[in-house]
Amino acid sequence: MLDDADRKIVELLAANARISLKDLAQRVDLSSPSVSERLRRLEDRGVISAYTVDIDPYALGYTLQAIVRIKPFPGKLPATQRLIEKIPEFIECYKVTGDDCYIAHVYLRSIEQLDTILDRIVDFAETSTSIVKATTVKRRLPPL
C-alpha cells in the first residue's frame, strides 16, 4: 500500500517523468532527501520500474492503429508468439483466455502495411482485425 505522499509522488511522476527532484519535493511538501529516499524505496519495491517518455506515433508517421486478435493454428503457438515479438509494429501484445490466444496492438503508416504484417502471420494463425477509430481512455494508472 502507498501512503498519501507516495501516492502523490507516483501521480506526479506519471504526469511528468522529467519533474525535478526539487519540484517534486515542493509539490509533496517534503525535503528533497526525503523524496529521494521515498523514490528509492518505491523503485526497490517495484512500484516504479522506469521513467519514460510519451511518444506521439502520429508525429512519426503512424496514422493508423489496429487491434489484432490472433488465434494460432494447432501446434503453432510458440512460433506465433516468436513471430509477433519480431514484428516491431506490434507495440504490445497480451496472451489471453478465450477463443483467441493473443490480442495485439499495432501501429501502421498505411492500410497496405497492415496487409504486409498480416501476410507474415497467415501461415501460423488466424487473425481478426479492428481499426482503431479513437482512443476513448488513454493508458492510465490503476487506482492508487
Each of the 144 residues of the chain gets a pLDDT tens digit; together they read 899 999 999 999 999 999 999 999 999 999 999 999 999 999 999 999 999 888 999 999 999 999 999 999 999 999 999 999 999 999 999 999 999 999 999 999 999 999 999 999 999 999 999 999 999 999 889 999
Task: Please report the pLDDT score of residue 22 as a whole number.
Answer: 97
CA distances from 66 to 101, 111, 130 (A): 17, 10, 6
Fold agreement between 4-44 and 57-131? no
Residues in contact with 53: Cβ distance below 8 Å, sequence separation at least 6, in sequence order: 17
Task: Please report the pLDDT score of residue 54 as a whole number.
Answer: 86
Task: Please report the pLDDT score of residue 1 as a whole number.
Answer: 87
Helix axes 32-44, 21-28, angle to 10 degrees: 100
Ranges of each domain in the chain = 4-44, 57-131
The structural architecture, per CATH, of the domain 57-131 is: 2-Layer Sandwich (3.30)
CA angle centred on 51, ends 30 and 8, rounded to 5°: 35
Going by C-alpha positions, the residue among 39, 59, 38 that lies closest to residue 50 is: 39
The structural architecture, per CATH, of the domain 4-44 is: Orthogonal Bundle (1.10)
